[in-house]
Chains A and B, each alone.
Chain A
């Protein structure tokens, strides 16, 4: 990996296929789209391999290409389908009363220093992400996992800033509530910590 040549592209699937698939799945939240993204990434990499300068590892280079592909795919799918980001916002308000008060007041979460090392926690997190509407999960991933600036997300996905804030607010409300009921206040999980 230290020299600036790429390995034989015919070995890429074995070397990086699963890694890139997971990378894409984390952002697209749909296995078929993730497979498509991996294939497109390899093809784009073939075309531009002369430009690989070996400043990063082969895998990092491929992941960089994939990152842009995932945004393309999200944009394309949101144009194709009639489902718009507005639908995300149109869901009934599960969290607040008409007076704007919490229906279920957020509980206190116990501290656990080894939380990030616990595979059960990540399973719960994965499930909570999967329970989000796909568009919402995609936007949340771009913002919170990839730390993409909001302007960039708005531009890439054709959203107004207000749209984006609403989507992120709802995603955070849902994820927070899901983690709370499935992990932080779940007596079985707490016993294990």
Chain B
């Protein structure tokens, strides 16, 4: 029997997003999830988190509420460009 703790299961659930986990590991996770509501939620939520991050990338570039170049940096970069272009 493969008995895994919530900590170990949460590690494997996370790693599954970044590598192929082994059959044995998968089995251990599955057995644990049948009995553990917390880890089942964790699985669902970190997969959702990935969707959130991707969506954040799409929206943030044009989001006017997000930070913009400071006037100082803008001026410095402009001057650098002008200098290198002339």
A172 contact from B8, B46, B61, B67, Cβ within 8 A: B46
* B41 partner residues in chain A, CB cutoff 8 A: 105-109
Asked if B56 and A125 make an inter-chain contact with CB atoms under 8 angstroms apart, the answer reads yes
Q: Which of A26, A35, A105, A125 contacts B69 (CB 8 A)?
A: A35
Interface residue? A78 (CB, 8 A): no
Q: Is the CB of A165 within 8 A of B55?
A: no
Query: Which residue in chain B gives the minimum CB-CB distance to A165?
Result: B15
Given that A19-B62, A39-B76, A107-B41 are contacting pairs, would A172 and B54 also be in contact in the complex, using a CB cutoff of 8 Å?
no
Nearest CB in chain B: distance from A48 CB, A: 13
- Shortest C-beta distance, A125 to chain B (Å), equals 6
Residue pair A140, B53 in contact (C-beta under 8 Å): yes
Is A161 engaged at the interface, CB distance under 8 Å to the other chain? yes
In angstroms, Cα B61 to Cα A106, docked, is 31
User: Which chain B residues in 15-72 approach chain A with CB under 8 Å?
Assistant: 15, 17-19, 37-39, 41-42, 45-46, 48-50, 52-57, 59-63, 65-70
The smallest beta-carbon distance between A108 and chain B, in angstroms, is: 6
The answer to whether A42 and B68 touch across the interface, beta carbons within 8 angstroms, is: no
A31-B70, A38-B69, A173-B10 are contacts. A168–B18 as well, Cβ < 8 Å? yes
Chain A positions within 8 Å of B, measured between CB atoms, are 8-10, 12-13, 17-19, 21-23, 25-26, 31, 35, 38-39, 42-43, 46, 95-96, 99-102, 105-109, 116, 119, 122-123, 125-126, 140-141, 143-147, 150, 161, 164-165, 168-169, 172-173, 175-176, 179-180
Cα of A103 to Cα of B52 in the assembled complex, Å: 25
Closest B residue by C-beta to A176: B45
- The list of the 10 closest CB pairs from A to B, nearest first, reads A100-B5, A144-B53, A105-B38, A100-B7, A169-B14, A106-B41, A35-B73, A18-B68, A96-B7, A145-B57
Closest to A123 in B: B65
Shortest distance from the beta carbon of A148 to any chain B beta carbon, whole Å: 11
Pairwise interchain contact A169-B11, C-beta atoms closer than 8 A: yes
Q: Which residues of B contact A150 (CB under 8 A)?
A: 18-19
- Enumerate chain A residues within 8 angstroms of B77, measured Cβ to Cβ: 13, 17, 35, 38-39, 42
Contact with A along B1-13 (1 / 0, CB 8 A): 0000111101100
A164–B18 touching, CB < 8 Å: yes
Chain A: which residue is nearest B72 at the CB level?
A35
Q: Can you list 25 pairs linking A and B with CB atoms under 8 Å apart?
A: A12-B81, A18-B69, A21-B67, A22-B61, A23-B61, A26-B57, A31-B67, A35-B69, A38-B77, A39-B77, A46-B84, A96-B10, A99-B5, A100-B7, A106-B45, A108-B41, A140-B53, A144-B53, A146-B57, A161-B19, A165-B14, A165-B15, A168-B14, A175-B49, A176-B42
